[in-house]
Chain A
């Protein structure tokens, strides 16, 4: 083998390994959807279990083509704000860049990872609207969230040229703000207009607990989501293949898979234990707390000391329960799975914690170092990117009569009324 041949061989192997890595991250992220599906089927009453599953699967299915149509383009074209940069057609679906190119083995794989991020974001929203949102309305809102709002937030807070990054040093490697805050507060905006399930609230304003029909599904589903998040978080790290010596974070600074491994697990454990304590042993909240623990650490997964990650996760697991209770009592919302609290509130904690405990960390080039002020600005922006379109668009849909399943259909059960199906025949 000549030296040139050896160089080609090594470069090819490095690039193929990098592409395969994101391929398997994408595959692993599909288990997040297995998890969300099981979780939400379990949290639904028997009469709505199938439609909850259909809704979940449709979000996944619609996210893929819409992210190909315009989501990926939004990420590439809008890092500066609301004015697109001129990409000379790159990233538009009829451009050759959006199909297989022999000279570019990686774009499709990166697109796939981002598409699964979009699918995950839409799945977060699906739990909050269980049992009373029209499936067609849900699909429309999910596309808005996953293929427009979230990816716009990512263009601003993840893209190395994003204005939150270049002007404020916003640091959010694991997407506490970019995914979880946007999804959680989008869901909050929608459920303010959607209204509660029939029977959730009494005339005097007191709330009734509406139990899901199979908690075992929910427990296993939540654990599956955690498995899938190793694909999600793994996909948040950048492996430049043959270009650079090792891993970098999305902002170009050195990072390690080791840091993600340490801190994801420690944050997960802290969240589970904190929520176990706060909920007095409720396994639903314990598992949700585990997720919240990961989100609490997500912004700074690359830099936390593992002991601090555990404490951050513990706090996240503790706060989601009173936050969920407060949101329900003040706003009279109906959030069957606590999505607003687990994602929206824990996401805020994750973004702000980066500013409180990890200010001064550098990024590549002229990107400012991390700061509390930068994280606070990012926090406000991510809240607005989620809440404003969620509330505004669902308000219009409500006025059009295209949002809520009528009460009579809710009482009869969506499965039988709309699908003519039963989840199983043993009940």
Chain B
């Protein structure tokens, strides 16, 4: 039996006081996902790195850490973001993890909104569909779980995973005792031209 090569990727969607994360092992295996935040007093960057990111790096031992390239941020927040990025990169190097900073060229080419991208992620990994928040209204602030989907989109970009045409929400089960078909594996891409 030939052993498959695995690339474990940790993708982060960084914000000053929280980050969404996703861990993928190869293009098909979603290991972990969630949002980690620090809202107490003190230095949020130190706390985010030492108390939230470090345990993730130690637990999952990723090979690559993927971060989104800085978007256009106001000058007031730019310094904070740069400091956070530096701290993340330093922590990753301490754990011997490669860091990749991805630009959003593909997203801009496809002209997808953040919510549409999140829906694509949910299609690819139906287990995330239950965490997909409702589309926000213009007067509402963004749901914190969207960070998780942004991170998943980054991981997919890193592993060159294309979007698929499977339903976002898995089909109802025949029996409540049967395990779901897509329990561990994401749905396969369906070819339309047979």
A binds B: no
Using a CB–CB cutoff of 8 Å, the interface residues on chain B facing chain A are none
